């Protein structure tokens, strides 16, 4: 669930050998490097909490948000890495509750935030996105890069594309199609030039980050510590192998190569001990350093998933 990032320096006593950040790998040859935890217990200074996949359309999850202290986090930062709620009214309520509890709240949208199944107004997913961003502005929730006490925080818009998956498919068993397994294909409504079935959405959302390039450059030149965050996954190594997944085709609908390229353009190819990227979407808790960047996921997830994890069924 919610996780606090330590902003103190941490050493890579078992540092992974750095590779060229563009993954020139052939299909079926995903090499999963050794990963080491980036967590430290001796953090100090500004406290940054991270959280994704709140899904507060579930009453249990909304109750969890309400249960957060209204006093403990008055000076803290919260990064919300998408999938707050499907229903607009639940989104507004959730973000209002979080802003009442944290001094600074940052947000990037996830796929569930852009579903249009039950909305009373007739709009498509891009129109809903603009409505959510306008609401965040009114609530005082940040959706653009900013500097807080010398820490650079950069939200990154993103979407997935099927070609992100380079691992061999599982064969010999019947696996539901993406259309059947992924509700985005039906719950999102896109203008005619955008589709989940190609790279158009991934490119569209990546280009949304261009308007902030001047701000990002200023952050790079003035901040020694930078945290980027997105909803979707930047590297396939940040998802369990297909043989471990309940739905083996999950990697086809989780990530973007353009997202990883953008992260590396911000943190640098060789990165540093302060480079960190927060993500969400897959509902797997994650904290590992890969090729010099610490990648963190802290999902609230669905109530049924939390129950299964308490019973030891981690990957189901």
> pLDDT tens digits for 276-287?
999 999 999 999
User: Tokens at residue 248, please?
Assistant: 């083996």
Question: Could you give the domains of the chain?
Answer: 45-311 (3.60.21)
DSSP 8-state symbol, 255 = B
What backbone torsions phi and psi does residue 88 show, to the nearest 5 degrees? -55, -45
- The pLDDT-based confidence of 7 (bands split at 50, 70, 90) is low
User: Tokens at residue 151, please?
Assistant: 């820490």
31 pLDDT above the threshold of 90: no
Rounded CA gap, 15 and 83, in Å? Answer: 33
Q: Taking a C-beta distance cutoff of 8 angstroms, is the pair 113, 91 a contact?
A: yes
What integer best gives the mean pLDDT of the chain?
A: 88
Determine how many CB atoms are found less than 10 A away from the CB of residue 234: 27
Q: What is the pLDDT of residue 13?
A: 31
Q: pTM for the complete prediction?
A: 0.88
pLDDT > 70: percent of the chain: 84
> pLDDT tens digits for 128-185?
999 999 999 999 999 999 999 999 999 999 999 999 999 999 999 999 999 999 999 9
> pLDDT tens digits for 218-246?
999 999 999 999 999 999 999 999 999 99
> pLDDT tens digits for 67-101?
999 999 999 999 999 999 999 999 999 999 999 99
- To 10 degrees, the CA torsion angle through 285, 102, 149, 152? 40
Rounded CA gap, 192 and 15, in Å? Answer: 46
- The pLDDT-based confidence of 38 (bands split at 50, 70, 90) is very low
Rounded CA gap, 160 and 205, in Å? Answer: 9
* Section 116-123 average pLDDT: 86
257 pLDDT above the threshold of 60: yes
């Amino acid at each position: 669930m919610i996780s606090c990032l330590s902003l103190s320096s941490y050493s890579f006593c078992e540092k992974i050998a750095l590779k060229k950040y563009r993954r020139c790998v052939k299909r079926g040859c995903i090499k999963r490097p050794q990963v080491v935890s980036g967590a430290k217990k001796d953090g100090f200074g500004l406290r940054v909490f991270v959280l994704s996949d709140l899904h507060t359309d579930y009453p249990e999850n909304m109750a969890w948000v309400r249960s957060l202290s209204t006093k403990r986090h008055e000076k803290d930062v919260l990064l919300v890495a998408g999938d707050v709620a499907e229903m607009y009214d639940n989104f507004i309520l959730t973000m209002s509750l979080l802003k009442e509890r944290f001094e600074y709240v940052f947000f990037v949208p996830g796929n569930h935030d852009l579903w249009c199944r039950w909305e009373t107004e007739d709009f498509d997913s891009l129109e809903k996105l603009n409505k959510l961003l306008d609401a965040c502005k009114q609530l005082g929730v940040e959706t653009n890069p900013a500097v807080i006490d010398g820490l650079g925080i950069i939200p990154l818009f993103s979407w997935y594309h099927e070609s992100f998956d380079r691992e061999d498919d599982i064969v010999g068993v019947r696996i539901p199609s993406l259309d059947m397994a992924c509700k985005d294909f039906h719950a999102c409504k896109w203008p005619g030039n955008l589709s989940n079935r190609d790279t158009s959405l991934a490119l569209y959302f990546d280009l949304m980050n261009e308007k902030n390039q001047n701000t990002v450059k200023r952050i790079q030149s003035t901040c020694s510590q930078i945290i980027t965050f997105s909803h979707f996954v930047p590297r396939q190594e940040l998802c369990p192998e297909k043989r471990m997944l309940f739905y083996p085709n999950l990697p086809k609908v989780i990530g973007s190569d353009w997202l990883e390229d953008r992260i590396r353009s911000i943190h640098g190819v060789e990165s540093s001990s302060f480079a960190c990227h927060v993500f969400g979407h897959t509902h797997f808790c994650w904290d590992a350093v890969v090729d010099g960047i610490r990648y963190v996921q802290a999902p609230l997830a669905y109530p049924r998933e939390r129950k299964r994890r308490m019973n030891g069924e981690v990957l189901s």
